[in-house]
Structure 1
Amino acid sequence: MSKVRVAVVGCGSISERRHIPEYAAHPDVELVAFADPILERAEGYAELYNAKAYSDYKQLLAAGGFDAVSVCTPNALHAEVSIAAANAGAHVLVEKPMAVSNEEALDMIAAAEKNNVFLMVAHNQRLMPPHVRAKEILKQGHLGRVLTFRTAFGHSGPEGWSIDGKNSWFFRKGEAVMGAMGDLGVHKSDMIRWLLDDEVVSVSAFIGTLDKKDTDVDDNAICLLRMGSGAIGSLVASWTSYRGEDNGTVLWCEHGVMKIGTDPVDQVIVELTNGSIERYQVGAIATNDKQVASGVMDEFISCIQNNVAPVISGEEGRRSLEVILAAFRSQEEGRTIDL
């Protein structure tokens, strides 16, 4: 089988820690080109992988010679670069949030369809072993219906993660558009939709900038969600979890409770109303503190090789984005938004 030739647009932290090393570890991938406005970053990777370097993604796309493109730019450029890559005939893997508006997301989906290429969104929470096991347990049915839930994603902010520290694009509204909600909240809206196999039908939210200085993007959000099934729950996104990350989910069900990512040893714990307790050690959820393989790049390459449309599709990414956009509308208008 011939190798899948991959180009990476944007050479910041998500490329450095996830996309590039996971592609490099894949036996069927050849990294052929890198683009970044800071040319030295692209050149560093180009030298490492015997690839080409560009300061402008348009030059990279015009040069060709790739089968797929990873879009790892600031949020505001996701749609522009993804559409251009699709128009250049490439399969596209885009970081989350896939876009900054529903219209952009729809345009990305349309561009992929028009050019007969795949569009996949890097929602890695679906692929984390504890979440995969949790979904399997729910499907077994002994917990019954999910009645209420709490899901959270919090860390101390992009300054500890981003290649540019406190000067990161994450804090500049023009490039980021949204803060903790675009960074973390959309991960959890996607995860809860997938885990419960259900859609969010209404959202009420408090979103604000509580502690980060010199920025007008949000650093905290607490959202109330109602699902199509009637289940209600909270979604928390925070850049001010200064002492220990939070990536936990708790589901209260008819016949017990399931705790995911709340215990350092047992990643999934099921406590049934009959008194029995099940504990599962299935591998960690990736966090900033503990990097583990996301599985996203392997999934993307597998889709291309087997000509199977990605499950984490553009439409799935759009629906998860829609929840976040509704939360911002709720904050602005001071009311519950129905989807």
Structure 2
Amino acid sequence: MQTIGVGIIGFGFMGKAHTYGHLNMPLFYNNLPFQTKLVGVCDPVLSLAQDAKARVGFEFATDDYKALLAREDIDAVHICTPNALHVPILIDAVNAGKHVYVDKPLAVSAQQADEACKALEGKDVIHQMAFHNRFFPASMRARQLIADGALGDILTFRAAYFTAGGANPTGAMGWRQRSALSGGGAIQDLGSHAIDLLLWLCGLKAERLISETFTPNPVRQDENGNPVQVTEDHSNMILRLENGATGTVEASRLRTGFDDMTRIEIHGTKGAIVLDLTENDYLQFYDNTLPDSPMGGLKGFTSIYAAQRFDAPGGSFPNAKQSIGWLRAHAHCVYSFYNSVYTHTPATPSVFDGAKIQHILDTAYRSAQAHTWLDIE
């Protein structure tokens, strides 16, 4: 059995989420022809890396990611740092011959994302973005229905990602609210997920957009009590796809009552889907081809129970009928990447896909400043 050595760069919240996938892969997936080994963990706060080594079982801990990249027993690395560091580390990693698994968004600008794509030219490495919302069974079932033509021609849509993290005017300042580290605000952090999921489900490219932003509390205090400018906390976007379909994308940290909600609605000539990841056991499907008489016939949204119905080798543990959670999609995203590493076939969503999303995000910010429609470059 092939063993793939793994290094985790950044052991905050997302580093733990990625590590979870490795720890559970032998349980979730039966009879894999490969296994992963957690070799190294890196965090700029050395004590955090050392604690991860002691508790999780990494072989070594460091605060220098280049020391991790120098290890011959590490084949692939996860980049779980603040956004501004994704591309510099990615470039060093691919130059060191490592496969790369990158958290979203890819970069802090379209220019930086293009640098990542250029660095991959001619490199024999596998690369994938951690757009994990693609990897819920309900999401994959929705994609299948749309690809099979169940919705007909896509007409309109709504994509939304809501949290309430910015609603409190005296709330703590996080790195995701600092443009220097995040590259933006709600559009970068939340909109990247919503846009990727929408376009992947539709199977269409984005063509044009117009957006506006809102920040009711533009200045907050950092951990030292100093005033810091906040990047936007709310964005509304009208997005037009290549087939002419037009809809909205909302990304907001101001939605009081929503701790974390991603919802996609897609409407076509033959039907519609509603995917709400706060209820990710289910996919709502409306079949517009059913007769509407007598008294409405059989028309109406049907709840498709997706739960944990992953294709083999997943889906046996936990049982396919049991409720699914947020981390399970992360684990399947990690599995998908390492299966591609094992088979040495291109992974998806790739860094190139991440770069396309970054161009949309950049266009949204430019549109908000110019107050006009812009073509997506």
TM over 0.5: yes
Letter in 1 for 2:183: V
2:4 match: 4
Aligned residue among 281, 297, 316 for 2:305: 281
User: Is this contact kept in 2: 1:211–1:240, CA < 8 A?
Assistant: no
The change in CA–CA distance for 1:3 and 1:152 in structure 2 (over 3 A counts) is same
Looking at CA atoms only, which structure, 1 or 2, has the larger radius of gyration? 2
The percent identity for this pair of structures is 28
Residues 27-56 of structure 1: per-residue CA shift (max 9 Å, x gap): 411011111111111111112314211112
User: Is this contact kept in 2: 1:75–1:98, CA < 8 A?
Assistant: yes
2:94 match: 86
User: Is this contact kept in 1: 2:167–2:256, CA < 8 A?
Assistant: no
**Is the deviation greater in 272-281 or in 169-178?**
272-281
User: Is this contact kept in 2: 1:46–1:53, CA < 8 A?
Assistant: yes
Shift of 1:324: 1.0
Q: SS state of the match for residue 229, structure 1?
A: coil
2:350 match: 313
- 1:329 matched to 2:366: yes
Aligned residue among 216, 240, 243 for 1:229: 243
Letter in 2 for 1:125: N
Shift of 1:252: 1.9
1:178 match: 184
Shift of 1:315: 1.3
- 1:134 matched to 2:133: no
Quick one: distance in 2 between partners of 1:44 and 1:325? 37
1:39 match: 46
Shift of 1:142: 3.6
Residues 216-260 of structure 1: per-residue CA shift (max 9 Å, x gap): 222111110000011001011111223133211111221333211
Letter in 1 for 2:182: A
The change in CA–CA distance for 1:266 and 1:87 in structure 2 (over 3 A counts) is closer
Letter in 1 for 2:266: L
Structure 1 residue ranges without an equivalent (≥5): none
**Is the deviation greater in 212-221 or in 263-272?**
263-272
1:296 match: 333
The change in CA–CA distance for 1:49 and 1:319 in structure 2 (over 3 A counts) is same
**Is the deviation greater in 44-53 or in 219-228?**
44-53
The change in CA–CA distance for 1:102 and 1:263 in structure 2 (over 3 A counts) is closer
User: Is this contact kept in 1: 2:237–2:250, CA < 8 A?
Assistant: yes
The change in CA–CA distance for 1:69 and 1:336 in structure 2 (over 3 A counts) is same
Quick one: distance in 2 between partners of 1:26 and 1:265? 21
Shift of 1:262: 7.4
The change in CA–CA distance for 1:281 and 1:54 in structure 2 (over 3 A counts) is same
- 1:75 matched to 2:83: yes
Residues 186-235 of structure 1: per-residue CA shift (max 9 Å, x gap): 11111111111110000100123234751422211111000001100101
Q: SS state of the match for residue 328, structure 1?
A: helix
Letter in 1 for 2:141: R
Quick one: distance in 2 between partners of 1:266 and 1:114? 41
Letter in 2 for 1:190: D
User: Is this contact kept in 2: 1:151–1:234, CA < 8 A?
Assistant: yes
Aligned residue among 201, 206, 211 for 1:205: 211
Matched ranges for 1:73-152 at <5 A: 73-152=81-160
- 1:21 matched to 2:29: no
Residues 143-176 of structure 1: per-residue CA shift (max 9 Å, x gap): 321101001111223899xxxx935321222111
Letter in 1 for 2:299: S
Letter in 2 for 1:23: H
Letter in 1 for 2:346: A
Quick one: distance in 2 between partners of 1:159 and 1:68? 39
Matched residue count: 330
Quick one: distance in 2 between partners of 1:262 and 1:87? 37
Residues 291-326 of structure 1: per-residue CA shift (max 9 Å, x gap): 433221111110100111112112111111111111
2:37 match: 30
- TM-score, with length taken from structure 1: 0.90
User: Is this contact kept in 2: 1:158–1:168, CA < 8 A?
Assistant: no
Residues 3-48 of structure 1: per-residue CA shift (max 9 Å, x gap): 11110111111112x2011112224110111111111111111123
**Is the deviation greater in 303-312 or in 18-27?**
18-27
1:269 match: 284
User: Is this contact kept in 2: 1:159–1:168, CA < 8 A?
Assistant: no
**Is the deviation greater in 62-71 or in 196-205?**
62-71
- TM-score, with length taken from structure 2: 0.82
Quick one: distance in 2 between partners of 1:222 and 1:333? 14
Q: SS state of the match for residue 108, structure 2?
A: coil
1:238 match: 252
The change in CA–CA distance for 1:320 and 1:265 in structure 2 (over 3 A counts) is closer
Quick one: distance in 1 between partners of 2:280 and 2:164? 23
